[in-house]
């Protein structure tokens, strides 16, 4: 089994440097290759890649911009291994990552896996707060944080593995973004392949985004879900509605104040106090606890409103997703 690490990148040479540097410290004692795909960047990372020639087995490709999904497919088509591992360029890989993946595959082989993400001490306070929101069991990020509470785990493409056999059968990622990773997982299930969480195969995911970019990102996540539900209604779950219900519930809580009913608002207050305390203790920082409250609110609001807008347009009004949300789809 030869691993091919597939890394699409767009205008992030500094991130690529950190990622490749982390891979030089890998304790994996078998050969592996790195396939780096420059997705039409105006700030290429070729010079950075060249500094690692001789330290790592790297292939570098430059192609016109067509989105991360198509770039991953391009990389897998060029790869020489029989098992592909996909990273985002803003990840830092622990030394034992590949060893843990190989161990898990040897114990119980699966054609597609996903791993969780964690934060390094060197991350900024906002990065740590966003990481808490995206991984905590108290938010919508419980599964991403390493808790497998559903029968079929849907890997996320910042830390995902797929066999060559499964890639060739499924044709890889589609042109929706975000949402291309759960779309691929469901298609793999329909083809008879299994997916699983490798809880020990985590990466450090930097998420180099500010509050505004984070809000846009989570709103797109919300928009993507009803689109996927329209394609695969058999995999729709009530839990997908939770962020929207959360936002509408908060609106109702304020409306009830007109009638001097504050019990619902008190429950929301208690929830955010729990978020603050948990994040503060987990990160040993009151400031990060405070920022985590902001991150969780932005997560729920962005995802909830995006989901509601998409649900109305795609599910209720029956609009074609590509027409309702053209920016969610790359032209390939």
On whether both 240 and 288 belong to a single domain, the answer is yes
CB atoms within 10 A of CB 190: 12
Per-residue model confidence (pLDDT) at position 147: 45
Is the pLDDT at 145 greater than 80? The verdict is: no
Tell me which of 146, 181, 209 is where a domain ends.
209
Q: Are strands 83-87 and 58-63 parallel, antiparallel or unpaired?
A: unpaired
Per-residue pLDDT tens digits for 172-231: 999 999 999 999 999 999 999 999 999 999 999 987 678 998 999 999 999 999 999 999
On whether both 184 and 276 belong to a single domain, the answer is no
Per-residue model confidence (pLDDT) at position 140: 72
| Residues in the chain, total | 332
Tell me which of 209, 233, 251 is where a domain ends.
209
Per-residue pLDDT tens digits for 225-281: 999 999 999 988 888 899 999 999 999 999 999 999 999 999 999 999 999 999 999
Which burial class, exposed, middle or buried, applies to 7 when counting CB atoms under 10 A from its CB (0-12, 13-18, 19+)? buried
Q: Which residues pair with 97 in a beta bridge?
A: none
Using a pLDDT cut of 90, give the percent of the chain over it.
Answer: 86
Per-residue model confidence (pLDDT) at position 207: 77
> pLDDT band for position 108 (50/70/90)?
very high
Question: Is position 140 within any domain?
Answer: no
On whether both 76 and 190 belong to a single domain, the answer is yes
On whether both 177 and 235 belong to a single domain, the answer is no
On whether both 271 and 172 belong to a single domain, the answer is no
> pLDDT band for position 142 (50/70/90)?
low
On whether both 170 and 205 belong to a single domain, the answer is yes
Q: CA–CA separation, 135 vs 150, rounded Å? A: 15
Q: Which domain holds residue 18?
A: 3-115+155-209
Per-residue pLDDT tens digits for 171-180: 999 999 999 9
On whether both 36 and 107 belong to a single domain, the answer is yes
Is the pLDDT at 151 greater than 80? The verdict is: no
On whether both 176 and 71 belong to a single domain, the answer is yes
Question: Is position 122 within any domain?
Answer: no
- Whether residue 190 contacts residue 233, with contact meaning beta carbons closer than 8 Å, is answered with no
Tell me which of 163, 189, 209 is where a domain ends.
209
- Whether residue 250 contacts residue 268, with contact meaning beta carbons closer than 8 Å, is answered with yes
On whether both 298 and 161 belong to a single domain, the answer is no
Per-residue pLDDT tens digits for 63-78: 999 999 999 999 999 9
On whether both 167 and 227 belong to a single domain, the answer is no
On whether both 194 and 227 belong to a single domain, the answer is no
Sheet holding 159-163, edge to edge: 58-63, 32-39, 3-9, 83-87, 159-163, 112-114, 195-197
User: How many domains, the chain?
Assistant: 2
Across residues 43-68, what is the average pLDDT?
Answer: 94
- What CATH number corresponds to the domain at position 69? 3.90.550.10
Q: What is the pTM of this model?
A: 0.90
Using a pLDDT cut of 70, give the percent of the chain over it.
Answer: 96
Per-residue model confidence (pLDDT) at position 177: 93
Q: CA–CA separation, 307 vs 256, rounded Å? A: 24
Matching residue, tokens 């304790």 = 27
């Amino acid at each position: 089994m030869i691993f091919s690490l597939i890394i699409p990148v767009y205008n992030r040479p500094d991130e690529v440097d950190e990622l490749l540097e982390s891979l030089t410290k890998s304790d994996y004692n078998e050969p592996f290759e790195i396939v780096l795909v420059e997705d039409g960047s105006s700030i290429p990372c070729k010079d950075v890649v060249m500094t690692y020639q001789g330290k790592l087995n790297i292939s570098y490709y430059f192609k016109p911009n067509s989105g991360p999904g198509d770039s991953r497919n391009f990389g897998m088509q060029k790869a020489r291994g029989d098992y592909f591992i996909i990273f985002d360029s803003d990840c830092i890989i622990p030394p034992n990552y590949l060893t843990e993946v190989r161990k898990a595959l040897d114990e119980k082989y699966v054609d597609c896996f996903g791993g969780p993400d964690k934060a390094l001490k060197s991350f900024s306070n906002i990065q740590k707060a966003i990481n808490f929101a995206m991984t905590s069991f108290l938010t919508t990020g419980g599964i991403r944080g390493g808790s497998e509470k559903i029968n079929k785990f849907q890997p996320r493409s910042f830390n995902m593995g797929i066999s060559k056999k499964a890639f060739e059968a499924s044709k890889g990622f589609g042109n929706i973004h975000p949402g291309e990773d759960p779309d691929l997982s469901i298609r793999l299930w329909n083809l008879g392949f299994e997916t699983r969480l490798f809880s020990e195969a985590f990466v450090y995911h930097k998420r180099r985004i500010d509050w505004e970019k984070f809000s846009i990102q989570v709103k797109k996540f919300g928009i993507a879900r009803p689109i996927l539900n329209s394609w695969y209604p058999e995999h729709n779950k009530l839990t997908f509605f939770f962020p929207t219900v959360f936002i509408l519930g908060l609106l109702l809580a304020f409306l009830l104040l007109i009638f001097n009913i504050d019990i619902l608002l008190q429950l929301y207050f208690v929830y955010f106090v729990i978020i603050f305390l948990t994040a503060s203790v987990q990160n040993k920082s009151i400031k990060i606890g405070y920022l985590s409250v902001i991150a969780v609110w932005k997560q729920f609001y962005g995802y909830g409103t995006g989901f509601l807008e998409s649900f109305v347009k795609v599910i209720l009004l029956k609009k074609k997703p590509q027409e309702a949300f053209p920016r969610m789809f790359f032209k390939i």
